[in-house]
């Protein structure tokens, strides 16, 4: 009887193993193919194409739930899609994407918080923090979102310790957003925000226009710095773009900069 049960279970076990193997192979293809997505010069094409890729990643994760590479790519995909294409028009939908991306990144971290994070955890920690900060930013009317603000700083500071240049100096932008979001009486500091955003736009982040866009969007209204707001957005709009892995993000930055500039009279 025991042998009969083992024989019956073998096809199921073999099937699970094959599914995991297929997921690992496909996840490698996705990982190697992401640069071509980020190099896309047509934002509308990317907006229409990416949901299918996100769904594919979720299917693969269902078959290989401990695949850290897949989990991180899914976190980046959901958070990046929400930021680039959803939050300006449909913030409620973007919020769901941010929470989903945060959950995938949290699973990739395996229970490690900022203090326990190692260098290999940088991608997961970054996207976990990015998702959280982005969710908080568009849900500042919700007490449960505001309660998450203090947790952003230690994660971003840990990223600055481990790998400050990761994702085009992204942790510097996070810290700039952190000091912009917080009210002055609760630790908000526009001067510190500007300093972090300035650092974000140097070195590895110099050609990444979303860093400058975020400075105009977050720091300038908090500091009531209209001149910085206008000059920074105009610099984004006039920047020449390269055909590299920053192309899609930079095309989106230009679209967002144009829309934000049109809101100047409402912000100042």
In a domain, 23, yes or no: no
Q: Domain of residue 145: give its range.
A: 68-163
Residue 239, token pair as written in the block: 């920047």
In a domain, 1, yes or no: no
pTM of the full structure: 0.88
Last residue of a domain, one of 134, 163, 192: 163
Last residue of a domain, one of 163, 187, 214: 163
14-23, 64-73, 100-109: least confident range: 14-23
Q: What is the pLDDT of residue 23?
A: 56
| Four-residue CA torsion sign, 122, 218, 136, 134 | negative
Residue 230, token pair as written in the block: 């206008």
In a domain, 72, yes or no: yes
Last residue of a domain, one of 127, 145, 163: 163
Place of tokens 């952003």: 152
In a domain, 215, yes or no: yes
- Considering the domain architecture, whether residues 215 and 233 belong to the same structural domain is answered as yes
Q: Which three-class secondary structure state does DSSP give residue 241?
A: coil
In a domain, 142, yes or no: yes
Judged on CB neighbours under 10 Å (0-12, 13-18, 19+), 175 is buried
Q: What is the pLDDT of residue 20?
A: 63
In a domain, 30, yes or no: no
CA Rg value for the chain: 20
Distance CA(250)–CA(197), nearest Å, equals 17
> 207 pLDDT band (50/70/90 cuts)?
very high
More confident residue, 165 or 7: 165
Residue 179, token pair as written in the block: 């000091």
Instruction: Look up residue 202 and give its DSSP letter.
Output: S
- Considering the domain architecture, whether residues 107 and 194 belong to the same structural domain is answered as no
- 1: pLDDT strictly greater than 60: no
Q: What is the pLDDT of residue 187?
A: 87
**Average per-residue pLDDT for the chain:** 90
218: Cβ–Cβ under 8 A, 6 or more apart, which residues?
137, 176, 177, 180, 181, 193, 197
Residue 49, token pair as written in the block: 């194409």
In a domain, 46, yes or no: no
């Amino acid at each position: 009887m025991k042998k009969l049960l083992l024989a019956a279970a073998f096809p199921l076990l073999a099937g699970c193993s094959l599914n995991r193997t297929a997921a690992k192979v496909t996840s490698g293809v996705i990982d190697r193919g992401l640069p071509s997505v980020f190099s896309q010069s047509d934002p509308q094409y990317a907006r229409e194409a990416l949901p299918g890729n996100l769904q594919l990643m979720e299917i693969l994760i269902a078959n290989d739930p401990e695949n850290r590479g897949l989990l991180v790519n899914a976190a980046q995909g959901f958070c990046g899609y929400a930021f680039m294409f959803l939050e300006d028009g449909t913030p409620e939908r973007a919020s769901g994407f941010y929470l989903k991306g945060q959950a995938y990144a949290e699973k990739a971290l395996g229970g490690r918080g900022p203090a326990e994070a190692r260098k290999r955890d940088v991608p997961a920690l970054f996207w976990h923090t990015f998702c959280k900060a982005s969710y908080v930013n568009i849900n500042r009317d919700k007490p449960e979102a505001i309660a998450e603000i203090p947790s952003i700083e230690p994660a971003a500071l840990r990223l600055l310790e481990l790998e400050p240049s990761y994702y085009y100096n992204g942790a510097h932008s996070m810290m700039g957003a952190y000091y912009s979001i917080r009210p002055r009486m609760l630790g908000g500091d526009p001067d510190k925000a500007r300093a972090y955003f300035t650092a974000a736009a140097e070195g590895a982040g110099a050609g990444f226009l979303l860093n400058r866009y975020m400075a105009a969007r977050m720091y300038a209204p908090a500091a009531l710095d209209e001149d910085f707001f206008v000059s920074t957005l105009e610099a984004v709009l006039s920047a020449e773009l390269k055909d590299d892995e920053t192309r899609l993000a930079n095309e989106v930055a230009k679209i967002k900069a144009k829309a934000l500039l049109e809101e100047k009279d409402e912000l100042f």
